[in-house]
């Protein structure tokens, strides 16, 4: 691995080192801020909504001022926002800085994907993209694991200090390792941009895929946000460090995810999505058994299923776009992260109605809706298009 490829891995790592850092802290934050579960879950929701707002814009900005410049400055600002979050006097200020972190995130992850596709267009892009995805998986896992570990020993503020320092170090490494892009890009005009957006939203297959992406991240974020409350309560009574450790199941799911790619080539996106969602529903149902090993097994099956569903959606969106594929992927990212943001908030109302059982039933319904949308809108054979890029990470953020 040369230095430029390692810089891509570091960018992937930094992309999701902050995104879901508060998930293991949620039970702790309810006590510290004397707030409801829905209120503290907004620390996840607003980060996701920030990503959704900025995702379609990041690529346009990068075309105007340079991709490396956007990647480096976004990573730097992400670290600064983390340090600022550590000084929050109350929940409202913390929510503000979490939203700012979300705004900075697409400048790293989505622009890095575009950088890879262009700078390695002559060959090797697949290998580099695979390295990038490995970095995002490691970053997504590390943010939760480090968060739980640091909070248990030093308190919640130090979580943001540690992650902020790591992100700033990553930004410095990216600035040194990534070479400036060799290709000049011309941003599309405002009129063309709006015309392309309208065209994509009128494309039934694309619109259906956007809804699938919304439901996929909605389900995953809902599960791993509210399972922390479930496991922090009797009979489990897990502390933040142990809650952070449950995200080891992401690594298992990510390792198994290449199987989904081969299955898509053989059986098609709709079949893989249907089987993946079936596995997800079965997995989340297993968590209702009051045994920690069964909960871990259920989360492993569930996360693996959702990762495969995300792979199916990613392989569909680029080929379904008739033009402006980068914008099509950006719109997918917007729907995807709106789903993730709302997935941290809406299930809270079901928790208030019936605890974890009600949340599981609700998530199962959302996943069934996901399959239904694919069966209705994913018509005809579609060949995967690598140039479409990769939205998010198998960690699903």
Same domain, 130 and 219: no
* Predicted TM-score (pTM) of this structure: 0.82
Same domain, 166 and 242: no
Identify which of 265, 257, 261, 7 has the alpha carbon closest to the alpha carbon of residue 116: 7
In a domain, 220, yes or no: yes
In a domain, 296, yes or no: yes
In a domain, 263, yes or no: yes
In a domain, 362, yes or no: yes
Structure tokens at 186: 């011309």
Q: Domain end: 180, 211, 232, which one?
A: 180
Same domain, 276 and 343: yes
Same domain, 362 and 216: yes
Annotate the chain with three-state secondary structure: CCHHHHHHHHHHHHHCCCCCCCHHHHHHHHHHCCCCHHHHHHHHHHHHHHHHHHHHHHHHHHHHHCHHHHHHHHHHHHHHHHHHHCCCCCHHHHHHHHHHHHHHCHHHHHHHHHHHHHHCCCCCHHHHHHHHHHHHHHHHHHHHHHHHHHHHHHCHHHHHHHHHHHHHHHHHHHHHHCCCCCCCCCCCCHHHHHHHHHHHHHCHHHHHHHHHHHHHHHHHHHHHHHHHHHHHCCCCCCCHHHHHHCCHHHHHHHHHCHHHHHHHHHHCHHHHHHHHHHHHHHHHHHCCCCCHHHHHHHHHHHHHHHHHHHHHHHHHHHHHCCCCHHHHHHHHHHHHHHHHHHHCCCHHHHHHHHHHHHHHHHHHHHHHHHHHHHHHHCCCCCCCCHHHCCCCCCCCC
Same domain, 168 and 42: yes
Same domain, 96 and 240: no
Same domain, 174 and 207: no
In a domain, 395, yes or no: no
Spatial neighbors of 249 by CB under 8 A, at least 6 apart, are: 296, 299, 300, 303
Q: How many domains does the chain have?
A: 2
Same domain, 119 and 267: no
Same domain, 325 and 280: yes
Angle at 9 between CA 43 and CA 300, to 5 degrees: 55
**Residue 240's domain spans which residues?**
191-390
Q: Domain end: 161, 180, 199, which one?
A: 180
Same domain, 197 and 316: yes
In a domain, 396, yes or no: no
Same domain, 86 and 199: no
Per-residue confidence of the chain (397 residues) as pLDDT tens digits? 688 889 988 998 998 899 999 999 999 999 999 999 999 999 999 998 999 888 878 877 887 888 899 999 999 999 999 999 999 999 999 999 999 999 999 889 878 877 877 777 666 666 776 677 778 878 888 999 999 999 999 999 999 999 999 999 999 999 999 888 776 655 555 556 677 778 878 888 888 888 888 998 899 899 999 999 999 999 999 999 899 888 888 777 767 766 777 787 788 778 888 898 899 999 999 999 999 999 999 999 988 888 788 777 776 766 676 666 667 777 888 888 889 889 999 999 999 999 999 999 999 999 988 888 888 877 654 544 443 444 554 444 4
Rounded CA-CA distance 248/251 in Å is 5
CATH number at residue 91: 1.20.1250.20
Q: Domain end: 160, 180, 200, which one?
A: 180
In a domain, 357, yes or no: yes
In a domain, 47, yes or no: yes
Same domain, 175 and 208: no
């Amino acid at each position: 691995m040369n230095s430029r490829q390692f810089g891509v891995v570091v960018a992937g790592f930094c992309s999701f080192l902050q995104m879901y850092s508060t998930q293991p802290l949620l039970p702790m934050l309810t006590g510290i801020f004397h707030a409801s579960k829905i209120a503290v879950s907004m620390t996840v929701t607003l980060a996701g909504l920030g990503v959704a707002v900025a995702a379609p814009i990041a690529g346009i900005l990068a075309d105007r001022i340079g991709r490396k410049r956007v990647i480096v400055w976004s990573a730097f600002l992400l670290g600064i926002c983390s340090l600022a979050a550590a000084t929050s006097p109350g929940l409202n200020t913390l929510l503000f800085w979490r939203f700012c972190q979300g705004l900075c995130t697409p400048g790293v992850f989505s622009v890095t994907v575009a950088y890879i596709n262009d700078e390695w267009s002559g060959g090797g892009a697949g290998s580099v993209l695979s390295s990038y995805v490995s970095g995002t998986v490691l970053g997504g896992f590390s943010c939760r694991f480090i968060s739980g570990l640091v909070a248990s020993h030093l308190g919640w503020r130090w979580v943001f200090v540690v992650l902020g320092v790591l992100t700033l170090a990553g930004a410095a490494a990216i600035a040194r390792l990534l070479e400036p892009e060799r290709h000049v890009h011309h941003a599309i005009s405002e009129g063309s941009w709006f015309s392309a957006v309208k065209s994509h939203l009128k494309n039934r297959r694309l619109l259906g895929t956007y809804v699938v992406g919304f439901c996929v991240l909605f389900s995953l974020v809902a599960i791993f946000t509210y399972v922390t409350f479930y496991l922090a309560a009797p009979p489990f009574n897990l502390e933040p460090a142990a809650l952070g450790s449950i995200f080891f199941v992401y690594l298992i799911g990510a390792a198994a995810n290449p199987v989904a790619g081969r299955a898509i080539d053989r059986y098609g996106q709709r079949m893989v999505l249907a089987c993946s969602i079936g596995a997800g529903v079965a997995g989340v149902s297993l968590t209702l058994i009051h045994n920690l090993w069964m909960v871990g097994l259920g989360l492993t099956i569930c996360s693996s299923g959702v990762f495969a569903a995300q792979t199916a959606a990613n392989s569909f969106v680029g080929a379904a776009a008739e033009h402006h594929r980068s914008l099509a992927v950006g719109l997918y990212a917007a729907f995807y992260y709106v789903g993730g943001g709302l997935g941290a908030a809406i299930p809270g109302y079901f928790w208030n109605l019936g605890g974890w059982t009600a949340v599981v039933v609700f998530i199962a319904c959302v996943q069934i809706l996901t399959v239904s949308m694919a069966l209705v809108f994913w018509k005809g054979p579609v060949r995967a298009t690598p140039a479409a890029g990769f939205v998010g990470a198998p960690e699903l953020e």
